[in-house]
Amino acid sequence: MARLDILVYPDPRLRTRATPVEAVDDSIRQLAEDMLETMYEAPGIGLAATQVNVHKRLLVADVTDDRSGPHVLINPEIIEKDGVEVMEEGCLSVPGFFEKVERADHIRVRALGLDGQPYEMEAEGLLAVCIQHEMDHLEGKLFVDYLSQLKRQRIRKKLEKERRLKPQTPDRAPAI
Ligand code: GNR
Ligand code: NI
């Protein structure tokens, strides 16, 4: 098990469109496990591979209070959506900001499970919102894209400033 680093807006890597998982193998199962650990530790109710800089179509979610409802969705597709829900959303890649976003409140999703087998699930309320939020990440889309340009720019500027004030962890070790 490993905890992964989460990219923070406006990191351009969050704009990458993820590609389908070709084979559900042990490396994918390990990634899903690491993503669940990272999500629970954060804590968050969902996490898309995009957020940990892996640009594959995989997401995890658990909207329960006691970590009793983990979902792993590989190559997810929404096959039905219904109704409208406005919910205050947050994002681990946009820390500290919460804004209302409108989404479908009932969805039916087809995905591959950790065994590589296709399955379908229905979700409503918070889980439906969460899965739509995660699937947006896989398209390089963030909840701030639904806000006004003014709000989005305010958020971007505050997070850029926080990043400048924070000691930087280099992507690779410096070559001395
Ligand atoms: O932890 C999270 N909470 C949340 C709340 C309302 C709507 C969506 C979410 S998802 C978010 C975790 C995250 O950033 N996933 O990409
Ligand atoms: Ni998010």
Q: Where does 17-148 have alpha helices with state H?
A: 26-41, 125-138
- Decide if pLDDT at 88 tops 60: yes
Atom of ligand 1 nearest to the CA of 134: 16
The amino acid that residue 106 corresponds to is H
134 given a catalytic annotation: yes
Q: How confident is the model at residue 132 (pLDDT cuts 50, 70, 90)?
A: very high
- The single residue of 37, 134, 139, 162 carrying the catalytic annotation is 134
**Using one digit for the tens of pLDDT, what is the confidence trace for 27-65?**
999 999 999 999 999 999 999 999 999 999 999 999 999
Ligand 1 touching residue 91 (CB < 6 A): yes
> DSSP string of 144-169?
GGGS-HHHHHHHHHHHHHHHHHSPPP
Atom of ligand 1 nearest to the CA of 88: 6
Single pTM value for the model: 0.95
Please provide the size of the chain in residues: 176
66 CA to centre of ligand 2 in angstroms: 20
Strand pairing class (71-82; 85-89): unpaired
Q: Report yes or no: 51 and 7 within 8 Å, Cβ to Cβ.
A: yes
Q: Tokens 């889309």 correspond to what residue? A: 141
By percentage, how much of the chain surpasses pLDDT 90?
A: 93
